[in-house]
Amino acid sequence: MSLPLGAFELTVERQQIPSRLVRMAAPTASVAFGLLVGAVIIWASGQDPILAYTEMAKKGFGGRLALTGTLVLATPLILTGLAAVVAFRMKIWNIGAEGQLILGAVASSGLGLWLGDNGIGGPVGIVLMLGAGALAGALWAALAALPRAYLNTDEVISTLMLNFVALGIMNYLIFSSFSHWRDPGRATFPVGRFVDDSMFLHRFTGRLHIGLFIALAAAGALWWALRSTRWGFEVRVTGDSPRAALYSGMRVDRKILSVLMVSGAFAGLGGGIEVGGVLGNLDPRALSLGVGFAGIVVAALARLSPIGVIPVAILVASFTNAKPGLQVLGIPSEIVTLLEGILFLCIVGGEWFLRNALRLHRRVGPVEAAAS
């Protein structure tokens, strides 16, 4: 690869794996660089970058309400981030967390409503409801996982397409039918029926609910499972080299199935927690905001570390949380979206610079001949 620049030429050379220290420092440097680029753009658009950044920090983290709001937004992001982490670790590209989250919400709200109708509620109801969400997410993922494991179909296509199917199912249940999920009392604009109050997730201060701690526990559990179990060992080996996994007697097909189902379970649990902790019903408008896709970004920024997902999800959530507040101050919310994109590009770009070196040479041949 080379790029001619007058009498010079820019070429790319591959580097060997850099040291641990460099690898640790690189994302920090990338984020700093991204913030700098963002500052220039904010400044160029006529805003004060320092004001914008301080306001973003304030609206995202300053004070109890801002902070708990951010954490509540981060909760489903952590779970869809984990969904992406576990699948991507094995180089299984689950792009279907969105659909798995929706199906999780459908199952959770459905079971929650049924339990309420039959007089069951409280902690037992909550556990069953969230369990149904995780299970539904896992089964929805299995629809893509089975053909991937046994017929080697492309999971990118199947998981992606299943998102639209899931969205269609949810919209049908609320907008196009008088289903178990739809509130019959509201004829003007269709909404989902609310589950019994006893099944709302416990709230602490502000809007903060117990779901955050479930998500944190899930991150810890995934970290431990990947690091210290036979299953995690097999996932790591299969992800690095499926042939080496087969060679050492591992069942790669089952690993694909289990990994995709675990991935779906995380996303489905996220859907259940949104129903139980925030929405209280199946709300198509609140559940189709792209949390599943955002999870992929979170996982990538966290370099597929289950623990790293937590701070990244909180940071991304703080951006989202800060948007309306910034708008009030006259800073367009697009600035925040822009900044997210810039940060992502910088971090991904930083990775590339870890592995490749640019080199400027004097060009030889015709140019030099002409000069001499």
Partner 1 sequence: MTDESTPAASTAEPATVQASGGEPHDAARLNAITKSFFGVPANDRVDFDLRWGEIHALLGENGAGKSTLCSVLAGLYHPDSGEIHLDGERVDLASPQQALEHGVGMVYQHFRLVDRFTVAENLALGHPETGFVTSRRSLERQVAELGRRYGLEVSPKAAIWQLSVGEQQRVEILKLLYRGVRILILDEPTAVLTPQEAQSLFATMRAMAADGQAIIFVSHKLDEVLEVSDRVTVLRDGERVGSVETAEADPATLARMMVGRDLATPDRTRATAGGAALSVRGLFADGDRGLEALRDVDLEVRESQIVGVAGVAGNGQRELAEVITGLRRSKRGQIFLGDVDITRASTLQRIKMGLGFVPEDRMRTGMAGGLPLASNLALKAYRQPPLSKGPVVSQKAVEERARSLEKQFDIRGVRWAMPTSLLSGGNIQRAILARELSAGPRVLVAAAPTRGLDVAAIDAIRQILLDERDAGTAILMISEDLEEILDLSDEIVVLYEGRIMGRLDPDEASPEVLGMLMAGRTVDATPETAKDTA
The residues that touch partner 1, with contacts defined as CB under 8 A, are 2, 9, 11, 13, 15-17, 20, 227-233, 236-237, 240-241, 243-251, 359, 361-365
Measured from the CB atom, the residue of 157 and 244 that comes closer to partner 1 is 244
Measured from the CB atom, the residue of 61 and 231 that comes closer to partner 1 is 231
> Residue 280 and residue 116: Cα distance in Å, rounded?
12
> Residue 259 and residue 266: Cα distance in Å, rounded?
11
| Shortest Å distance, C-beta 9 to partner 1 | 6
Measured from the CB atom, the residue of 124 and 358 that comes closer to partner 1 is 358
194 secondary structure, DSSP code: P
Measured from the CB atom, the residue of 85 and 173 that comes closer to partner 1 is 85
Tokens 């699948």, residue?
87
Q: Which amino acid is at 178?
A: F
113: Cβ contacts below 8 Å, ≥ 6 apart: 180, 181, 193, 195
> Residue 261 and residue 144: Cα distance in Å, rounded?
9
| Shortest Å distance, C-beta 19 to partner 1 | 9
In 3D space, the residue among 238, 270, 269 whose CA is nearest the CA of residue 251 turns out to be 238
> Residue 86 and residue 100: Cα distance in Å, rounded?
14
| Shortest Å distance, C-beta 262 to partner 1 | 14
Measured from the CB atom, the residue of 328 and 369 that comes closer to partner 1 is 369
Measured from the CB atom, the residue of 64 and 227 that comes closer to partner 1 is 227
| Shortest Å distance, C-beta 235 to partner 1 | 11
Measured from the CB atom, the residue of 13 and 197 that comes closer to partner 1 is 13
275 secondary structure, DSSP code: I
| Shortest Å distance, C-beta 23 to partner 1 | 10
263: Cβ contacts below 8 Å, ≥ 6 apart: 83, 84, 86, 87, 92, 94, 97, 100, 141
Measured from the CB atom, the residue of 88 and 319 that comes closer to partner 1 is 88
CB 257 within 8 A of CB 146: yes
In 3D space, the residue among 58, 76, 59, 72 whose CA is nearest the CA of residue 207 turns out to be 72
Measured from the CB atom, the residue of 6 and 249 that comes closer to partner 1 is 249
Q: Maximum distance among all alpha carbons in the chain?
A: 93
In 3D space, the residue among 104, 75, 87, 232 whose CA is nearest the CA of residue 158 turns out to be 87
| Shortest Å distance, C-beta 8 to partner 1 | 10
| Shortest Å distance, C-beta 243 to partner 1 | 5
Measured from the CB atom, the residue of 124 and 357 that comes closer to partner 1 is 357
Query: With the C-alpha atoms ordered 92, 149, 306, 81, is the resulting torsion angle positive or negative?
Result: positive
> Residue 39 and residue 150: Cα distance in Å, rounded?
50
285 secondary structure, DSSP code: H
In 3D space, the residue among 71, 68, 101 whose CA is nearest the CA of residue 83 turns out to be 101
CB 363 within 8 A of CB 15: no
| Shortest Å distance, C-beta 151 to partner 1 | 17
| Shortest Å distance, C-beta 242 to partner 1 | 9
| Shortest Å distance, C-beta 13 to partner 1 | 7
